[in-house]
Structure 1
Amino acid sequence: MIAWAVTAVVAALTVHTGVNAALLRRPPARPPTVDRPVAVLLPVRDEAHRVEPCLRALLAQQGVPDLEIVVLDDGSGDGTADLVRAIGGDRVRLLTGAPLPAGWLGKPYACAQLAAATAAEVLVFVDADVVLAPHAVAAAVALLDDVDKVAGGDSFDLVSPYPKILGQPLVQQLLQWSWLTFLPLRAMERSRRPSLAAAGGQFLAVRADTYARAGGHAAVRDRVLEDIELARAVKRAGGRIALADGSALATCRMYASWRELADGYGKSLWASFGSPGAAAAVVAMLIALYVLPFALLLTGPAAVRTAGLAGYLCGVAGRVVAARATGGRPFPVALAHPAAIVTFAILLGVSFRRRRHGTLTWKNRPVEAHEGTP
């Protein structure tokens, strides 16, 4: 019976979520003192409404004696630069961003300028909507130095400790659920395939020498999802990458409203799948696995309602496991997992429509659409 086959697939994916949750790298509770120069690099553009908590958290970092904080103001018109000066004083180096060259998107260019402005051995990129715990930077460096004995004891070149995401949990917690459910984390760490990569640009640590060898942000200058593409570039350069649970290290409120969320996802979601056909296939799969069982539970014949209930509960269980593993709120959000999938499909459609009509924008700049990997 098709309903039971779907349930079996969902159950297997939920088991995989649990395995990944158990294997997910976690920062040390008490990270050692960092013995090398580290630069925290913060690009800002019209962030006066939220940059203060981020800056104050950076200034309160512990365990990194040789820490440099560099902020680049990328053409803000809301007084962001003045606020950075007032809060950071002489402890923060504030750069004024150069005009955006042709062929570049705003964030990759800002990050490239920040990286060029420091000689630190470790680069830690942070977004203005992120607030770090006092030991977060030291813990990120410790995660870089973590080793995988199975893979020969090599440390990592890029680590993305995923923050605890605040706000709009119905959709936002899909991010962590998706890579815990569909991405084999240990295989990603050991594989040299650039296509097997994931990263989150909100909080990302990378070794400076590997960053340079990979081409830095110049290698991903026109990519909407520059964080994932940077991870792929590091892999192409022979480096190793890892995802980690950063929920104890950082919080991130990406969007303050559903309108902002729709605009943010509309800007970039299309780039996650490479083509409309691939996106349609992914949406069809997600609906078949996570929406169909709920529909069968409500409207199906009596003979298949049990299968629908089992499939629905397996999907809910996957959301619960992912939320608990990454600092999210399991309930009641997990119960609305089918609604989350439908909402995701709608947002994906909005993103592709904006791309088709050439109306992709972010921070008052047009976003030029590019496909594929560099």
Structure 2
Amino acid sequence: MSSFAAVLIGIHICVAGVLAANFVYLWMHRPSRGLHADASPDDAASISVLIPARNEAENLQRLLPSLLSQTHTPLEIWVYDDRSTDATAEVVASFNDDRLHLVSGTPLPTGWLGKPHALYQLAQRATGDWYIFLDADTELHHPEAVARWAQQFAARPTPSVATGLPRLRGGAAWLVSLVPNAMLTGLPWPLVKWVDAPSLGALNGQFWMLDAATYHTHEPHRHVRGKVLEDVEIGRYLKSNGVVPYLWDVRDELTVYMYPDTQAAWRGFRKNAYLLMGGHPLAFVLLCAFYTSTFVLAPWVVPWLWISVFGVKVATDRWNGIAWPISLLAPLSYAAGAVLQIDSAWHHWTHNVSWKGRSVAARPAPEEPASQSESG
């Protein structure tokens, strides 16, 4: 056996170990476990749900009813209409509920990208004790979902920030299925609280939860205002300030409908893939080579590693409820992931990365803190 083959086998053993450890960790961090149905509402913290929305009319018609049906009180919902060209504002206004608030967006200040700016503006208005940050393409499954999260958050170690892995749905499952695969194999979550390195930390921007006092102490969205991969950067920034990220299994409470088709998925992942692979030419080359060797080339070098390639993909797909036929496309999915990384790198290097009609190339941060004046 060659040294290269031995290294590949060792890497696959480590990947399987990380996956197994994360499955156990997530089983221990399910909000539905230990839910006390008789918890007193008088003791409930007030919660603000903050949602950035740019051309999200269709998604909000699914999300907002699921939020307005929540039993947790007190609850307020804030939506930032980030200069949408569709009926986003009209959809929000159509819900006649005092808990729902719409903020009309203004032009981006120098140095800010859209999502950090939207959520920062909402956080200045929110009055809750705790903040839940949700993407507009999510949907809550149960009226007690927020109550479950609140009880889990109340029992958290402090200081900490909670994030979660929801169920993923939508088009392009053969490509989107790489998201839970990467999150479950790429970071050993049981070690996050024990290892001080900020690089061993992240958030999933689709859902995360933080108390208002900690948010306003550290102002994470101001800190990452020019970052495309703002959720990962916030997780690392908060951890560097002693706020430890915890990952929850929120499949029972939350689904994300990421992309309608392969074309949209490719465009969406293009803006992030290069940054996830280091965001620097040297780091990208090394990490892309590592990924390609591990998941694309390895089974051709050591044939029995096909068992590992398919086994890991089947495990993460089944955990997320993704259909069996998608798992059979594992080699194609992994190969597409490698091509996507190269495509993303090229577009970043040529400053040709856009999303929803805006360039999302990282902007230089302003010398002075941006104005906190409210918009809309």
CA drift of 1:90 comes to: 3.0
SS in 1 for 2:329: helix
**1:144 corresponds to:** 153
Q: 2:125 aligns with which of 106, 117, 129?
A: 117
C-alpha contact (below 8 Å) 1:59/1:88 kept by paired residues: no
Q: Does 1:277 align with 2:282?
A: yes
Q: Does 1:311 align with 2:302?
A: no
C-alpha contact (below 8 Å) 1:210/1:237 kept by paired residues: no
Structure 1 distance, partners of 2:173, 2:150, is 29
SS in 2 for 1:98: coil
- The alignment's TM-score, normalised by the length of structure 2, stands at 0.88
Q: Does 1:361 align with 2:354?
A: yes
Structure 1 distance, partners of 2:243, 2:199, is 14
Q: 2:25 aligns with which of 23, 26, 42?
A: 23
- Cα gap change, 1:232 to 1:163, in 2 (>3 Å): same
Q: Does 1:76 align with 2:84?
A: yes
Structure 2 distance, partners of 1:324, 1:213, is 40
Structure 2 distance, partners of 1:40, 1:31, is 21
- Cα gap change, 1:17 to 1:163, in 2 (>3 Å): same
CA drift of 1:282 comes to: 1.8
SS in 1 for 2:251: strand
Q: 2:262 aligns with which of 258, 263, 266?
A: 258
Q: 2:291 aligns with which of 283, 286, 289?
A: 286
Q: For residue 257 of structure 2, what is the amino acid of its counterpart?
A: R
Q: Does 1:205 align with 2:213?
A: no
Structure 2 distance, partners of 1:337, 1:276, is 27
- Cα gap change, 1:315 to 1:23, in 2 (>3 Å): same
Alignment of 1:3-14 (within 5 A): 3=5, 5-14=7-16
Structure 1 distance, partners of 2:140, 2:330, is 29
Q: For residue 323 of structure 1, what is the amino acid of its counterpart?
A: D
Q: 1:295 aligns with which of 292, 300, 307?
A: 300
**2:242 corresponds to:** 238
**1:218 corresponds to:** 222
- Cα gap change, 1:321 to 1:145, in 2 (>3 Å): farther
Superposed CA offset, 1:307-356 (max 9, x none) = 41x2111122122222333x232623333322222111111112112112
Q: Percent identity?
A: 31
Alignment of 1:98-113 (within 5 A): 98-113=106-121
CA drift of 1:202 comes to: 0.9
- Cα gap change, 1:88 to 1:175, in 2 (>3 Å): farther
CA drift of 1:371 comes to: 10
Structure 1 distance, partners of 2:80, 2:363, is 25
Superposed CA offset, 1:168-215 (max 9, x none) = 222222222223223111111333322111211111111111111222
Q: For residue 127 of structure 2, what is the amino acid of its counterpart?
A: A
Q: Does 1:166 align with 2:165?
A: no
Alignment of 1:80-99 (within 5 A): 80-99=88-107
Structure 2 distance, partners of 1:330, 1:256, is 17
C-alpha contact (below 8 Å) 1:156/1:242 kept by paired residues: no
**2:373 corresponds to:** none
SS in 2 for 1:358: coil
- The alignment's TM-score, normalised by the length of structure 1, stands at 0.88
C-alpha contact (below 8 Å) 1:220/1:230 kept by paired residues: yes
Structure 1 distance, partners of 2:182, 2:240, is 24
**1:52 corresponds to:** 61
C-alpha contact (below 8 Å) 2:111/2:364 kept by paired residues: no
Structure 1 distance, partners of 2:252, 2:186, is 23
User: Aligned pair count?
Assistant: 353
C-alpha contact (below 8 Å) 2:202/2:234 kept by paired residues: no
- Cα gap change, 1:43 to 1:274, in 2 (>3 Å): same
Provide the alpha-carbon RMSD of the alignment.
2.1
For structure 1, the 5+ residue unaligned runs are 148-153, 297-306
